[in-house]
Structure 1
Amino acid sequence: MARPRKFDEGRAVDAAMRAFWTAGYDGTSTQELCDATGLGRSSIYNTFESKHELFCKALARYMELRTGSLIELLEDPGRPVRERLREVLAGAAEPAGEDPLGCFVVNTMVELSPRDPEIAGLIDRDQRRRLDALRAAIETGRAAGEIDAGKDAETLARFVVSTVTGMRVTARGGADRTVLRAIADTAMAAI
């Protein structure tokens, strides 16, 4: 009979998410995962089987939280679309103080996607969800006259994703909030 777990798996995944977000997959050792989660090596491997599986769960958790929040914001019918898009860009300019710099998905895209098909698939599905939500919001804005009807919704959605991605990389590289806000303002002027 297996012993019952004496820890909260969700909290362990959240702690691992922050560790991986900060240092990446290759930069996070098993010992650092033990330190972050408060679990021993055997508990980590008995629960998650491998560092890779724990990483996949952590990345999926990040996507669930971040993409879910993005979609909720973009689908808010009580606010003008341009205001929703401005908030998306402002979120990249004003990252939460307790979060590691950059974006866990963007960091992973650069580090692992080229060599890990499973991770690349997770990221592709997440990016498609983000693009679909942005495109739908932009189409709503075009129909309401908030966004120039001559502008292609798919292209604008990709522009917003690329801008946010670039802002996350720029933030991780040390750019201050003034620079990030200026990028967000410039992007809004283009929409």
Structure 2
Amino acid sequence: MSKSGRPRAFKDTAVVDAAVEVFWSRGYEACSTDDLCKETGLGRGSLYNAFGSKHELYEQALIRYQQLGLSEQIDILRADMPVKERLRSLLEWEIREDSAAGDRGCLLINASAERGKSDPSVEKIFTQHASQLERAIEEAMREGQSNGEISPERNAQELAAFFLSSYYGLRVLYPGTMNRALAGRIIDGVLAAVF
């Protein structure tokens, strides 16, 4: 631990990535220190020396997952293509990601559901992610208005909030159903409501 009482930063992203997989598969409460040691390859002492606690490692795992996902999401929203196609691509990216994750869904959504109201750090990480994603969606909506894809009469902030809500709704619904036809209808409906 550093003199301030905070665990020192751990530079090996492979360890944090391994922890992401453990927490994603088991959740926080069902994950033991032994599970983390087994999957990260660290002994109990090394784990605590590097991270301070299971919770600190959990925070770092959530931040890592959030950073990787948000980077991909924003890249899609800023791609050189019509805004409608960017928004469709983001929704389709979600389907691909959640299909690859099997029944695990989105780690951030799972963490928020499991601990969001009882764990301020989880709530903060999720809220920051949602806010950053909403801003990027709103930028895309405003661009769509300026290039004529979206009516300037519509409120870009409200459209972004609607899209974000639909996006997260699909992220919750899809892993439980794995129904691509339903997901396709939802995507078409969301885009029809915006454009």
Q: TM-score, normalised by structure 2?
A: 0.87
**What is the CA–CA distance in structure 2 between the aligned matches of 1:22 and 1:179, rounded to whole Å?**
25
Match of 1:85 in 2: 87
Residue type of the alignment partner of 2:57: L
- Within a 5 Å distance, the mapping from 1:27-106 to structure 2 comes to 27-76=30-79, 78-95=80-97, 97-100=99-102, 101-106=104-109
Match of 1:20 in 2: 23
**CA distances 1:30-85 after superposition (whole Å, capped 9, x unpaired):** 12212221222222111111011001100000111011111122122x21111100
Range with bigger deviation, 147-156 or 136-145: 147-156
CA contact (8 A) 2:70 2:133 kept: yes
**CA distances 1:121-177 after superposition (whole Å, capped 9, x unpaired):** 222222111111110111000111111222211111112221121112112323322
Residue type of the alignment partner of 2:175: R
Match of 1:3 in 2: none
CA contact (8 A) 2:98 2:175 kept: no
- Larger relative CO (CA 8 A, sep 6+): 1 or 2? 1
- Within a 5 Å distance, the mapping from 1:113-128 to structure 2 comes to 113-128=116-131
Cα deviation for residue 178 of structure 1 reads 2.1
**What is the CA–CA distance in structure 1 between the aligned matches of 2:128 and 2:96, rounded to whole Å?**
26
- Percent identity, aligned pairs only, is 36
CA RMSD of aligned residues (A): 1.8
Cα deviation for residue 8 of structure 1 reads 6.7
CA contact (8 A) 2:174 2:183 kept: yes
Cα deviation for residue 89 of structure 1 reads 0.9
CA contact (8 A) 1:93 1:184 kept: no
**What is the CA–CA distance in structure 2 between the aligned matches of 1:174 and 1:44, rounded to whole Å?**
37
**What is the CA–CA distance in structure 2 between the aligned matches of 1:17 and 1:11, rounded to whole Å?**
10
Residue type of the alignment partner of 1:81: V
Cα deviation for residue 96 of structure 1 reads 5.8
Residue type of the alignment partner of 2:95: A
CA contact (8 A) 1:171 1:180 kept: yes
Give the paired residue count.
184
CA contact (8 A) 2:112 2:126 kept: yes
